[in-house]
A and B are shown apart, each in its own frame.
Chain A
Amino acid sequence: MDISIEIRNLSKNYGKKKALSGVSLSIPQGMFGLLGPNGAGKTTLMKVLTTLLKKTDGEVEVCGVSIENSRQIRNMTGYLPQDFSMYGNMNAYEALDYLAVLSGMSRTEQKIKVPEMLEKVNLLDKRRTKVRSMSGGMKRRLGIAQAIIHDPKVIIVDEPTAGLDPEERVRFRNLLCEIAKDRIVLLSTHIVGDIEATCENIAVLNQGKICFNGQVSELLSLVEGKVYSVKIAAAELDKVKQKYMVTGILVTGSTANLKIIADENPFSQAELVQPDVEDAYMYLMHRDVEKKKL
């Protein structure tokens, strides 16, 4: 089976508001990151892909199946929503078992798969813990377990690391990478670090439109030779911030270490530094704003 998602000219309107406008994307097997600010349309796109929202226009195919065939699509996708929750009076095992039934699994399959998945997400020894007593990280792990339990070809995870502590975040990202070996994992986030650590292919969505689609290296190349590090007097900080795009500030005493994105060297004492995805993302967002201003 062809494991890919093809999106052509996808639009989604809420009344007069355009949440997605002419989005075209090709998502191959592996981890795929969807980056964008809050309200960019990431969740809308994901809900369209999981058939939870009807598209207004355009075409979407998941593994060769048109999005209109909602039953088929739901069978081949697993979804972890942004605010995943389950009935608090169920324990981890019961919750997963319940969702496995909704995924259409037989009783025999459930008996094998539920403990297997709990083990995979490191919740087997917590299988008797009630959902209401779980930490945020445990809930997310339970969420990913329910998303993959029916072995879907596509897994869609919406802001999965928001609110997790650094250790849980790293653990969760690794888990996603592990899962992504033989399927598509579409990861939506506004936390650039998550993308940087896990995805090779990314798309950046802003105001309902794709403003970048490619590999992480291509995104980085956008700001190659444009990121500078400079030390200035702390008193000049406001003036510099008004003039340049500042992506990092570290104030020590009366001096401030800044990371600046600029087409040309802004200060004689500034040093060119290696850009990261966050710089590239900021550049992209800023460039769009500038274009709009013009």
Chain B
Amino acid sequence: MEKYVKLAASFVKRQYYPHLLLLLLFVAFSGGFVSFRGLESQQAAKVMEMYVAFTGILLFTPLFMPEQDKEIWDLERSKGTPMWKVYFLRFFMALVICLFVIILFLSFMIRGGSEFDFVTLFRGACCEILFLGSIGFFASAVTNQVVIGYMLAVIYFALNMGGGKYLGNFALFQMMQGKYGTWMYWLLGAIVLFTLGVIIRGYGSAFFSCSRIGLSGFSRRS
């Protein structure tokens, strides 16, 4: 147990803290961007879907950051602790923080006299935010580039702003239209993408470092 605490502390200290600081700013300044007072359920959902959703991108995309350097990745993979455990640990830590932030925003709205069904919005928001985060997580796992992870997650968000008509049940911003039924699709998508991400980075061979793919952006060394 002590080993995992140390691993998590080291990750936060050396790689993750700037992202947590950004998250702190994101929460601290939220009052200037969105209102928490007297919202109805759809307005409350809008706050969660269009603002708090960025928490997922901020928290889950950079989890593979230390291993962007292939030498570090190879070195860590050569050690006794399986990499999937290390990644799962980071994921779990991000998940706990994410849930905390979601509850925090919901409590801001409750204190502001907003009226919504807590359980429904909490469940929907968790699944949607995790799904958005899992896109960044998976993309950075496959490409070994955090920038691409952010890029694809933000693009997915932006595409949904334009309606997301081709995205079916995986389209975002459903709750603010009063549709609460797609949470299981988001959850399923998140589970699949997070699992694949951990598998790729945890068990990935040199193929996943993409060194043989001729596009520069795909390879750390290029």
Contact = CB atoms under 8 A, between A and B. Distances in A.
- Contact flag (A, B; Cβ within 8 A): yes
A269 to B, nearest CB: 46
Contacts of B215: 89
A92 to B, nearest CB: 14
Nearest to B209: A132
Interface string B64-100: 0000000000000000000000000000000000000
B222 interface: yes
B32 interface: no
B219 interface: yes
A130 B211 CA distance: 10
Contacts of B221: 85, 88, 131-132
Q: Which label, helix, strand, loop or mixed, suits the secondary structure of the B interface?
A: loop
Interface in B185-222: 211, 214-216, 219, 221-222
Interface residues of A, number: 7
Contacts of A87: 216, 222
Contacts of A85: 221
Nearest to B214: A89
Nearest to B217: A89
A131 B222 CA distance: 8
A217 to B, nearest CB: 41
Contacts of B214: 89, 130
Interface string B126-161: 000000000000000000000000000000000000
A130 B213 CA distance: 11
Nearest to B219: A88
A132 B214 CA distance: 10
Interface string A45-89: 000000000000000000000000000000000000000010111
Interface string A117-132: 0000000000000111
A88 B221 CA distance: 5
A134 to B, nearest CB: 10
Nearest to B211: A132
Contacts of B222: 87-89, 131-132
A253 B214 CA distance: 55
Interface in B12-38: none
A10 to B, nearest CB: 33
Nearest to B215: A89
Contacts of B216: 87-89
B212 to A, nearest CB: 8
- Highest count of chain A CB atoms <10 Å: which of B211, B214, B221: B221
A85 B214 CA distance: 17
Contacts of A88: 211, 216, 219, 221-222
A181 to B, nearest CB: 34
B209 to A, nearest CB: 10
A85 B221 CA distance: 8
Interface in A192-216: none
A130 B215 CA distance: 12
B103 to A, nearest CB: 44
Interface in A83-116: 85, 87-89
Nearest to B213: A89
Contacts of A132: 211, 219, 221-222
A73 to B, nearest CB: 30
B218 to A, nearest CB: 9
A88 B209 CA distance: 12
Given A85-B221, A131-B222, 14 more contacts: A87-B216, A88-B211, A88-B216, A88-B219, A88-B222, A89-B214, A89-B215, A89-B219, A89-B222, A130-B214, A131-B221, A132-B211, A132-B219, A132-B221
20 contacts: A85-B221, A87-B216, A87-B222, A88-B211, A88-B216, A88-B219, A88-B221, A88-B222, A89-B214, A89-B215, A89-B216, A89-B219, A89-B222, A130-B214, A131-B221, A131-B222, A132-B211, A132-B219, A132-B221, A132-B222
Q: Which 6 A-B pairs have the closest CB atoms?
A: A88-B222, A88-B221, A89-B222, A89-B216, A132-B221, A88-B219
